[in-house]
Amino acid sequence: MKVPANLFYTEEHEWVLIEGNIATVGITDYAQEALDELVYVEVETVGETLERNEIFGTVEAVKTTSDLFLPLSGKIIEFNSELDENEGDNPTMVNQDPYGKGWIIKIELSDPEDREGLLSAEEYKEAIA
């Protein structure tokens, strides 16, 4: 199971890549494996400013539906068009490449320095062990 060292993680099994004041967010390899094949990814919060831990969307798999929680406060500026049913409609991209083409959203961060509560790769590995 992959846990890239250059990312931050949440206890809800999301990963975060912070580049300046923009964060890219997806679900971890562990999460996509546990969910199994994704059939739908829904994000209706593009353009909205949300607080950390608010629900920003859902992922639906054959077995279950799970909420997606915002790891950092900010404005959701983009939903991955590959996953959007109105555009690419390929939710299995999350299963195939969770840390690359399977990213879910991009956020313009309210405070780029606020990383409180995010886990390092080592801390995340311990949490899922």
Give me the domains of the chain, ranges plus CATH numbers.
Answer: 8-111 (2.40.50.100)
Output the pLDDT for position 51: 95
Q: Is the pTM of this model over 0.75?
A: yes
Q: What is the pLDDT of residues 64-87, one digit of tens each?
A: 999 999 999 999 999 999 998 888
Nearest to 83 by CA among 43, 34, 33, 31: 43
pLDDT of residue 4 exceeding 90 = yes
List the one residue out of 79, 90, 34 whose CA is nearest residue 57. Answer: 79
**Joined tokens for residue 42:** 């829904």
Question: Residue 118 has what pLDDT?
Answer: 96
pLDDT at 12 over 90: yes
| Cα gap 84→72, rounded to integer Å | 22
Residue 42 banded pLDDT, cuts 50, 70, 90 = very high
pLDDT of 47 above 90? yes
| Whether pLDDT at 20 is above 90 | yes
